[in-house]
Every structure is written in C-alpha cells, then in structure tokens.
Amino acid sequence: MAGIDATPRTSESQLGVELDPIQLVAPDGTPTASSISSKYRRNLPPETLAWLYESMVVTRELDTEFVNLQRQGELALFASCRGQEAAQIGAAACLPKTDWLFPQYREIGAFLLRGLTPAQMGAVWRGKWHGGLNFTEKCVAPISIPIGTQGLHAVGAAMAAQRLGEESVTLTFLGDGATSEGDTHEALNFAAVFNAPCIFVVQNNHWAISVPVSRQQAGPSIAHRAIGYGMPGIRVDGNDVLACYAVTAEAAKRARGGGGPTLIEAITYRMGPHTTSDDPTRYRSDEELEYWAARDPIQRYRTYLQAEGVWSERLEERVAAKSKRLRAELRESTVNGDDFDITDVFDTVYHDITPDLLAQREQVLAEIAMEAGA
Amino acid sequence: MTQIIERPPFHGEDEPRRPLFTSVPPAPTLTMAQAINRALHDAMASDERVLVFGEDVATLGGVFRVTEGLAETFGEQRCFDTPLAESAIIGIAIGMAIRGLVPVPEIQFDGFAAPAFDQIVSHLAKYRMRTRGDVEMPVTIRIPSFGGIGAVEHHSESTESYWLHTAGLKVVSPSTPTDAYWLLRQSITCRDPIVFLEPKRRYWLREPVDTETPGLPIGRAAIRRSGDDVTVITYGPLVATAVSAAELAAQQHGWSVEVVDLRSLNPLDFDTVAESVRRTGRAVVMHEGPRTLGFGAELAARIQEELFYDLEAPVLRATGFDTPFPPARLEKLWLPGVDRLLDCVQRTLEQP
Amino acid sequence: MTGHVRDFFVPDLGEGLEDATITSWSVMVGDTVELNQTLCTVETNKAEVEIPSPFAGRIAELGGGEGETLNVGAVLVRIETEAQLPAETKRKPVLVGYGADEEMDDSRRGPRHTSTRPRAKPPVRKLASELNVDLNELVGSGADGVITREDVLASAGRSAPSADMVAVSGVRAEMARRMSLSRREIPDAHATVEVDGTNLLRLRDRMREQTGDDVTVTPFVLTLRLLTIALAHHQNLNATWVDTTAGPQIHLHSAVHLGFGVAAPRGLLVPVVKDAQDKTTRELAGVVARLIEDARAGTLMPTELQGSTFTVSNFGALGLDDGVPVINYPEAAILGMGSLRPRPVVVDGEVVARPTMSLTCAFDHRIVDGAQAAAFLTELRGLIEAPELALLDL
C-alpha cells in the first residue's frame, strides 16, 4: 500500500525567505558587500562574463528592432523585454542547453541565448505562425499566451525527466501577474508534492499591463509564497545578471541532486509598454521610470566589467556587429519572408487528418481558386 | 523531432476496413469497467511510456475500480495519485507529452472537467497545430460521463459538445465492453489528443471481450441493429436504450428501426450514417444533455446538407432539455429514453 | 536617386491616440536617411517618442512643421527609396495585433441573378430532377404555392413551345378545359335516329308565310320547341349528376334551359335559352335569333352563357351529316343535329327521296340507360315527323 506520510516533507524551521534580494553588482556597477549575497559569489571565467554582456546588449538591440518594425507596420504587435535582460539571461545562461525552458512571451533574451534565430522569434509577432517555430529543437517550449498556464507544463516536463532517468532541470518563466493565476498555484503545489526538478523564475517587472504588482498579491513578497508550498523561495535583484545567474545555478544544483523545486523572484522592471499600442503614461509616472532607468542592468554590468578589465573596445565592436547582423536578419525575415500556405493550418491539426477536415481543406482551396479566377 | 522515442505504429492502424462481425475465439466475460481496466493494463504493459494518473486512481484503484491494480503492477512512477487539481492533471500531461511520454490522465467525473477546460482547449487541442506539427499530444483523457446513475449534481454531465467544438481534439465514446477495450487501446496509441467519454451507467454491462482480435478502429461507426424504416443515430450510454426501443418498436408497431452506434464523434464516420439514411429516408438522433447545440444539431445539419433529397421527413432529435441536469429523483423524466425516442420515430413515419 | 516615393504615416503609438504633435524634426527635405534613423520626435500626452525611419532613402517631403499636430494615419514624411515594397493597408494596431482590416468586408463575388425559388419538398425536387421538369416553370397547386408531386407528374413530358405553335388561351382554352372535363368525368354512350323532316319543313313554310320576316322560324327552332316537350316526358335527360355529402345524386331539373352551340368569331360559344319550356315557338325563334346575333357580335352577357340543363349542337348547319357531340358537363345528355337534306328513304316498300336528318344523343350512362335514350329519341322523332301531335300535350 502506497504510504500515507503524516510528516510534512519540509518543516517550518527549514523554510524562510529573505526579503532582501540577492545582489552581487550594485546599480552603480560596484560589487555588493553583503554577507548573504557573498555566498553566491562565483568566479565565472571572463569568456562567460563577456558572453553574458554580449547577450544582454544584443537582446536589447534586437528588442529595439522589433519595436521599430511594429511602428513601421511590419509586425502585428510586440511585447518588449527592455529592462529585463539580466533576469532572463542570467537565469537561462547557467543551464545546459538540454534543460528545457517554458517561457511566457517576453523572453527573447532567453531565446537568443539558446540559439533561436531572429526569424524564429519574429514569426509569432509577424503573425506568420503561432507560438514558436521549431523552438523545441533547442529544448524551448513555444510561447504561452494564456497567462501562467505554462508552469504546469514545466512541472509535467520535470516529472517526465524524473521518469526518463535524466539529471536535467526544467525552468519556467512567469510574470508577477501570472502568480495570481490558479494554474501557477497548482503548478507550484504539484512541483513541491512530487519533488519535481523544476525552477520557477518569476520576472517581477512590477506591471501586468496597467495593474501593479501590489494588486497581484498582499504577502510580503512573491517569493514568500514558496513557504506555503514547502519549497525554497529566493528573491534576487533581477537587474543584476550575475546574481540571477548564481541564484538559478544554485536552484538547478539542488534540483539535479533531488532536492526538488525552487521559486525565484527576480525583481526587475518593464521599461517599455506591455505591448506596442499600450500607453504606460496613463498609469505610471516618469519618476518611476527614471528610478528604474538608474538601475539599468546593462549599464551597471558594463561598468562592472570595465572595472574587472573584461570590457574592451573590441568586445563592444563585436557586440555591435552581432547586433547589427541579427537586426538585419530580423528585418529581412519579417519584411521579405513569405507567409505559409493556408493548407498548413489544416494539415497540422492532427497526425491523422479526419475525413471531414480534409473536405474543408478542399473548400478553402476552392475558394482561393475562385478568387484567383474572378 | 523533439520527442525522444519514435512511436511504433499500432498494428491495427493501417488495416483495411474489416467486416463488422467476425468469428470470435473464446474470450473472457468482462464488465465495461473491467474491460477498461484490462485495456489500461495491456497498454501500460506494451508501452513503458504510458502513464496513468489522476485523483484516487492509484491506491484506491479509482472510484469505479477502473484503475485497480495498475499502481501495484507498474509502480508509483507510472500510476500515481495527484493532488486535487484538474487543471494541473491535464497541464502536467501536456508537459509530459512534450517530453515524449504517453499520459492517460483521468478526470474523475464529467462535471469536474470544467477546471481543466483552459488547459484542454487552450493548449492540448492547439499544441500540434501551433507548432506546425513539431510537437504532438498523444494524450488520452478518460472521463466517466453522462447520466443515468441517480447521482448528485455535477456527476451526470454531457461534455462532448465542448470538445467537439474545439478543433484539434478527437472525441470517442464506447457503448459496449468490447468497444471500451479496443477504443481505449487505439486512443492511447493514437498520436492525437483524445477525450474518452466512458458511459458510467454502462460500467456494469457484461459481455465476452476478445482482447486478441483488434476491434473496429476509431472513426468507424457500427450498425447495432439493422432496419429499413428509420435510422436512429446515437452513441455511448444510449446505444443500449436505442436497441431496446427498436425491439419494442418491431413488436408493438411493426416498425423496422436501424441503430447506428457512432463510437467516435470526431473523427465521424458519416459514410455509415449516410448509407443508412439514404436507405431509410428518416433519421432520429438521440443523445443526453441539453438539446441546444448537442451533437444532434450538428448531425441534423450534416444530414440535411448532404442527404436533402433522400429525406422523407425532417431529422428529429431525442435529447435532454435545456436546463441544468435535474436532481436524481427527476432524472428519469428528463433523460431521453425509449419513449422519447419512439415518439420521434413515430413522427418521422407520420410525415406525408 | 530615382525610385519610388513612399509614404510613411503617423503610427498609432498608444491606446486611443488620435493625433500626435511634431515637437522637432531631425531631418530636412533632401536629406539622405538610413534605415531606423530618427526622423523626428512626436509628443503624445506626456511622452515624447522618437520615430525611426522605416526605409533608407531621401526625404522628399515632410508631412508637417514643428509644433504641428497631425492625425494618426496622416502622412508624416515621404521618402524616395529604391526599395520596392508592397502596398500597405492602413490598419490601426491594437494591443494584441495589426488591428481591424476593412478588406475583410470586401467580396470577390460578382453580381448574381436572383430569382424566387420554387417551393417543393425534397422528394418532389428529386422527382422533378429525374423527370427533367424545371420547377421554376411550374405553378404549385399545393398550399402556399408549394409544388406537389402531381404538379411535377402532370408537367413531365411537356416540351418547350416553338415558333410554329399557337398558345391556347381565352375561349379556346375554356373549351379545351370543358371538353377534357366532360370526357374525363362522364362515361358517355350515344344513340342515333334518322328523322324524316318532310312535315317539319312543311310546317316551317306555313309559319313563315304567317310571320313574314320579323320572326325566323327555322327547322332548328321548331326542333328545339319539340325537344322541350320530349324532355318534359323524359326528365332524366334534363338532369345532372351531383356528388353530395350523402353520396351521388341525380338532380332532375324541372325547367329546361337549353344551351346551343354557336360558331362565333372567338370560337364556340354556347348561349342558353332560359326556361325554354315556357316559351312559345314565336318567342323561342326571337330569343334564338338574338342570341345567335349577340354571340357572333361578341356581346353576350356571361349569364347568357351559363345555366343550361340540356345542350343542342346543330352541326348540321355547318354541313355535317353525322356526329357525336361532347356532353356539356355536368349535363346528362346532349343532342346533336345533322344536316337536313334529301336522302333516299324507304316508304311503303319503295325508295323515295325525302329530307332527312340524323339526331344523335350522347348521354351520361350513369344517369341514362339505352332504353331511356331510345324512348326519348323515339318520342322526339315522332314529334318531328308528325309535329301536329304535339298539340296533345299543350
């Protein structure tokens, strides 16, 4: 008979959430002196440090190109991640590329890191196809528009990894708004109950369209929710790429060792609108923007790298060249790329198309033929 | 291709259309519940990627004992109880499918599919198409369904219309123990997501079940009773009802009623329906649940679209009413039964 | 640089934004710009937004000056570019996509010829299609103009009219209808007698001497007068077959309303002499003459063409010796009169020339049997051959 376990897995004394977010690099670029944070300090090789920098800058450049393209009418819409580069890149960078990622939709930084192409990323915003074309080749799930639903998929994937005997970790990105959704609660609960090797990275960018995080939850922090589920909860400065890297790496190590899931709250800020066509001036102040601009993740990290002797003009040139190349790729694939055929919509619904759907497919082809002949 | 192991084809998948009746070797007599249990057992034994999970399915063996013995036989990794959260049950099934496993989650009762609606409709149904065929969802959701057991609220619902109106889902409902066994086996090996609606009031129907010879595939209807005057089209719990009604009709009125058991609602075997209605010229659809936008509405539309000139009478529907499901003691008046069906049959025969 | 001048419109930069004010231009007309180069800064509410150039090229025209407010969708700048880009549709982006596309309400359908659809049940339509009957040509005889199976069957086999055909209408159509009805409904039989008209003619001559030209007493008129007497004695020839709620009945008419055929320009007309039994021979002659005149002139009243209980067809006046007339439905019988002219007859064992005519009575065999018809015709012949005997019943 499967055991009825009366003792809880985690005791009250084991769990506590530090309200002060973990930080290794202060907004002004200087190393943070803090006893708690110091245990996260790593000695990453210069190549890795430079790679993190390059990834963040290229992400921002690509993000800008996306916004431009939308303003020029080439994209249906775009959800900018400006200001959140450190949170997502730091988290994704510490994982091997075979660990699965389950994004929401504001994670082009993570996509870039995994080697997804601008064309792949752009397809959904262009309206060329849904989701994420061939994302799974890079162990990335397609984007999830229904908020917070992907947490459960990540937990399921992590439970599958357990059964497949992998040592992998599954990571999902959620927004602060997503933490209000029932599915997020269920995902955290399941992950804890099944001790799934799943990391929940909440990018708390303070805004869900126009609703502030203070309206999403009334507890001390998002990370504090972890206590109730019986898993560790960690707050991290989401604009500090090294801190995000370190905290996620620790959570990954714990999960790989059978220690179960972790809830990470990365505190960051959505510098741009929710999507293009949103006007943030209607609900937030210039002062707030200025406050967060002063905490920009790229600016502070550049200053830090300069002090560490990792930054150079050559690095900057290399980064600029890559940005330019990827921006051009995005523009080219978006503006000059062909649409798919409508028949693809019919052919991809089922593995075995049904007779009725086949007939409908014929109908749309006939309509197209009629229009062509008219 | 992202999923780890290529799925072997089920040996019945590509077979030519088989005759309806074949000689059956000795087979164990099973109830429908036992047949489902056997199907789960055999599916899990033949494919180690198959998982069964849900509320109360492991230790208890399911509230109807349908999943009995699976956890003991295959271990907790493959058959396990989940916390009480239907959205999560389907959500983790999706994640598992992405990683190449074959989940067979259970929603304990039809009325409790509602919390899982988002995951089923927003993700499960769309995942293959939205990834342009990249990611498959070989998930089979088992749901004890429909009425007729005098239950308390939320345990007698007809949910098929919701799933049928969601492109990307296949919907199957067996009416006999043999069909329950084979349709479930085929659903599990099918690479598309399937909602498997088990008619719980027929769980105790008993018949010999041949687990060696593959049954009719998904997408084929079966004629349960031949007739010349009127075609009755139904599925799941009401097939037995329709056959009883046909027998009564023959004895009392001399009417010859043909009963078509759809077996799968999507994909739909419209050819069998059409062949029958072409012959009889009269069709009555019977299903539980409310009348409006039930499957009868779809069938009536299809039949008059394609068989307009063969109809001697309008297509009628014997259904429940457009109210929430009634309390147990009034259920018998509400559900369509022999009488409501024969009323419709009579009306079709009375047309000039 | 030669190439296309492309318009770049003021984009929608926020929810509900309808216009934007240009706060400053970063370029002038004639400047060469690169892709994404900042063109200008526009102000929306409190925010200032830089607008990047969508293409590389040369500024051809600015859409407004600094400080000017332009509507969203108005031309912001015109750039001469070599790039060939497809025509843009002006869609206003919304939070979640490109925005509404008016082209979705366009149609590729050409004008269609609309017609009212014939109303027929599915099996009837199928029948029509099998029999090659065009439902649009039929008038439905069912309720609400619904076309019935019978309508289709009746129409089957009809062919389309051609140039050498004449449409059946008016009097001819009515005649056709009545003749068809008669033959369809009445099981008729007929019987004939040959009548010696010698005495009839002598009587006619004698009366004419008396009346002069005011009154035309013809053999026809005399026959009609004698006919009324014969009908009085054989009432079931002056009758109609009626299907009543109590079953079939024979309506025996006490009055004799005599109809007789007249060849009018419009066709065959059958004026009726009402209450012929009450008219004197002189009166009868007058009425008949007037009816014939009016028939030929086309001035008969409709009431004068209705209500007969017995009809006479004088085809003898047209030169025919013999014939079988069609009963004037729903009467019990009709009398046909052949031509009156000399023919060989046997008198006292010798063949002599006498003026004769044939009288043929076609009768409804449901009402009249052979014996009754024989009795009637025999009496009528007797009266015509010896008209003075009519005095017995006057």
* Nearest Cβ partner for C17 among A127, A275, A279: A279
Q: How far apart are CA A155 and CA A170, in angstroms?
A: 8
> What's the start-to-end Cα distance of chain C, in Å?
126
Contact B186, B10 (CB under 8 A): yes
Mean pLDDT of B97-117: 98
Contact A154, A69 (CB under 8 A): no
Q: Is residue B141 pLDDT above 80, yes or no?
A: yes
Does A6 reside within a domain?
Answer: no
Instruction: Write out chain A's pLDDT in tens, 374 residues.
Output: 345 555 666 666 667 899 999 999 999 999 998 888 888 988 999 999 999 999 999 999 999 999 999 988 899 999 999 999 999 999 999 999 999 999 999 999 999 999 999 999 999 999 999 988 999 999 999 999 999 999 999 999 999 999 999 999 999 999 999 999 999 999 999 999 999 999 999 999 999 999 999 999 999 999 999 999 999 999 999 999 999 999 999 999 999 999 999 999 999 999 999 998 899 999 999 999 999 999 999 999 999 999 999 999 999 999 999 999 999 999 999 999 999 999 999 999 999 889 999 999 999 999 998 877 65
- Which among A233, A244, A205 has a CA at the least distance from the CA of A88? A244
| B10: pLDDT strictly greater than 50 | no
The mean pLDDT value for C19-47 works out to: 85
**Residues in C touching B310 (Cβ below 8 Å):** 122, 126
pLDDT of B237 strictly over 90: yes
pLDDT of residue C2: 55
Q: Between vectors from CA B200 to CA B196 and to CA B204, what angle results, nearest 5°?
A: 120
- Residue A145 CA, chain-centre distance (Å), reads 13
DSSP string over C255-314: S--EEE-EEETTEEE--EETTGGG--HHHHHHHHHHHHHHHHHT---GGGGS--SEEEE-
Average pLDDT for C56-64: 90
Say yes or no: A268 and A365 in one domain.
no
Q: Please give the backbone phi and psi of residue A160, each rounded to the nearest 5 degrees, phi first.
A: -65, -40
Q: How do beta strands B230-234 and B222-225 pair?
A: unpaired
Of A72, A73, A277, Cβ closest to residue C95? A277
CATH class for domain C4-85? mainly beta
Catalytic positions of C, please? 365, 369
Band of the pLDDT at C116, cuts 50, 70, 90?
low
Chain A neighbors of C88, CB-CB under 8 A: 73
- pLDDT of residue B284 exceeding 80, the answer is yes
Instruction: Confirm or reject CATH 3.40.1410.10 for domain C126-155, answering yes or no.
Output: no
> Which residues on neighbouring strands pair with residue B261, listed in sequence order?
B222, B234
Examine the domain organization and report whether A42 and A164 are in the same domain.
yes
Q: How confident is the model at residue B108 (pLDDT cuts 50, 70, 90)?
A: very high
- Side chain identity at A198, as an amino acid letter? C
Question: ∠ at Cα B57 (B52, B60), nearest 5°?
Answer: 150
Task: Yes or no: say if B140 and B89 are a contact pair by the CB < 8 Å rule.
Answer: no
Interface of A with B in 190-219 (CB under 8 A): 190, 193
| Minimal C-alpha gap between A161 and chain C (Å) | 35
Residue A7 belongs to some domain of the structure: no
Residue C21 near residue C47, CB atoms below 8 Å = no
Q: A334 and A347, same structural domain?
A: no
Instruction: Choose the closest CB to A71 out of C46, C51, C88.
Output: C51
Verify whether the Cβ–Cβ distance C98 to A274 is below 8 Å.
Answer: no
For residue A14, the number of C-alpha atoms closer than 13 Å in the C-beta half-sphere is 11
Candidate from C123, C125, C129 with C-beta closest to B312: C123
**Minimum CA–CA partner of C120 in chain B:** B309
Convert the pLDDT of each residue in C270-309 to its tens digit: 999 999 999 999 999 999 999 999 999 989 988 899 899 9
Using a CB–CB cutoff of 8 Å, tell me whether A133 touches chain B: yes
Planar angle of CA C54, C55, C61, nearest 5 degrees: 90
| Residues of chain C contacting A76 with CB distance shorter than 8 Å | 93, 96-98
Any residues with CB less than 8 A from the CB of B205 and at least 6 apart, and which? B31, B32, B176, B177, B240
Going from N- to C-terminal start, the domains of chain B cover 29-208, 222-349
Q: What is the mean pLDDT of residues C86-94?
A: 65
Give the model's confidence band at C109: pLDDT under 50 very low, under 70 low, under 90 confident, else very high: low
Q: Do C126 and B312 touch (CB under 8 A)?
A: no
- DSSP code, position B120: I
A135 to chain B: which residues are within 8 Å by CB? 131, 134
- Residue B352 confidence class, pLDDT cut points 50, 70, 90: low
Tens digit of each residue's pLDDT (9 = 90 or more) over C315-327: 999 999 999 999 9
In whole angstroms, give the CA distance from residue B259 to residue B272: 11
**Closest residue, chain A, to C52 (C-alpha):** A68
Name every residue whose Cβ is closer than 8 Å to that of residue C51 and which is 6 or more positions away in sequence.
A71, C11, C38, C39, C40, C41, C42, C76
| C95-C97-C101 Cα angle (round to 5) | 120
For residues A360 and A321, state if they share a domain. no
Catalytic residue (choose from B11, B41, B123, B155): B155
Pair A135, A259 in one domain: yes
**pLDDT bracket for residue C55 (50, 70, 90):** confident
Q: Do domains B29-208 and B222-349 have the same CATH topology?
A: yes
> What percent of chain C has a predicted confidence (pLDDT) above 70?
90
Nearest to C311 by CA among C275, C360, C270: C270
Residue C1: its pLDDT value, please? Answer: 45
Q: What is the pLDDT of residue C54?
A: 82
CATH class of C188-393: alpha beta
* Mean per-residue pLDDT, C129-137: 85
Question: At the topology level of CATH, where does B222-349 sit?
Answer: Rossmann fold (3.40.50)
Q: Tell me, what's the pLDDT at C13? A: 64
- Residue whose C-alpha is closest to residue B197's, from B227, B165, B170, B224: B170
- The answer as to whether A9 is a domain residue is no
Please tell me if residue C11 touches chain A, with a CB cutoff of 8 Å.
yes
* A356 shares a domain with A211: no
Do A354 and A260 sit in the same domain of this protein? no
Confidence of residue C17 (pLDDT cuts 50, 70, 90): low
Listed ranges B182-186, C179-183, C251-255; the one with the highest mean pLDDT: B182-186
pLDDT attached to residue A351: 96
Structural domain includes residue A309: yes
Mean pLDDT of C360-376: 95
Say yes or no: A231 and A201 in one domain: yes
Give domain limits for chain C: 4-85, 126-155, 188-393
* Catalytic residue chosen out of the listed positions A82, A114, A274, A327: A274
Which residues, in sequence order, are CB contacts of B60 under 8 Å at separation 6+?
B81
Q: Are A268 and A239 contacting, i.e. CB atoms less than 8 angstroms apart? A: yes
State the residue range of the domain holding A374.
341-374
Least confident of A83-92, B84-93, B150-159, C85-94: C85-94
Sheet holding C69-71, edge to edge: C47-52, C38-44, C19-25, C69-71
Q: Residue C207: is its pLDDT beyond 80?
A: yes
The Cα of A134 is separated from the nearest Cα of chain B by a number of Å equal to 7
Q: State yes or no: pLDDT of C111 exceeds 90.
A: no
d(CA C189, CA A85): 111
Please report the ipTM that was assigned to this predicted complex: 0.93
pLDDT above 90: percentage of residues in chain B: 90
Q: Do A282 and C54 touch (CB under 8 A)?
A: no
pLDDT-based confidence at residue C214 (cuts at 50, 70, 90): confident
C212: alpha, beta or left? (left if phi > 0; alpha if psi -120 to 50): left
* Same domain membership, residue A347 and residue A308: no
b vs e for C155-187, b when ≥16 Cβ sit within 10 Å of the residue's Cβ?
beeeeeeeeeeeeeeeeeeebeebeeebeeebe
Residue in C8, C18, C35 to test binding to A, most A beta-carbons within 10 Å:
C35
Tell me which H or E stretch contains A326. helix A313-335
Q: Tell me how far apart the alpha carbons of residues A77 and A328 are, in angstroms, rounded to a whole number.
A: 19
Tell me what the pLDDT averaged over chain C comes to.
86
Q: Which chain C residues are closer than 8 Å to B309 by Cβ?
A: 122-123, 125-126, 129
In a domain, A3, yes or no: no
* CA-based nearest distance C126→chain B, Å: 6
List the end-to-end C-alpha distance of chain B, in Å, as a whole number.
60
C32 beta partners: C58
Regarding whether A295 and A356 lie in a shared domain, the answer is no
* d(C-alpha C318, C-alpha B50), whole Å: 104
Give me the CATH topology for the region B29-208.
Rossmann fold (3.40.50)
Of C45, C52, C108, the CB nearest to A71: C52
Phi and psi at C76, nearest 5°, equal -90, -45
| Number of residues assigned to chain C | 394
What pTM does this model have? 0.72
Residue that is written with structure tokens 């013999």 in the block: C322
* Distance from the A253 Cα atom to the nearest Cα atom in chain B, whole angstroms: 21
Q: Give the number of domains in chain A.
A: 2
Q: What is the pLDDT of residue C139?
A: 82
Position B279 scores a pLDDT of 93
CA distance C323 to C223: 17
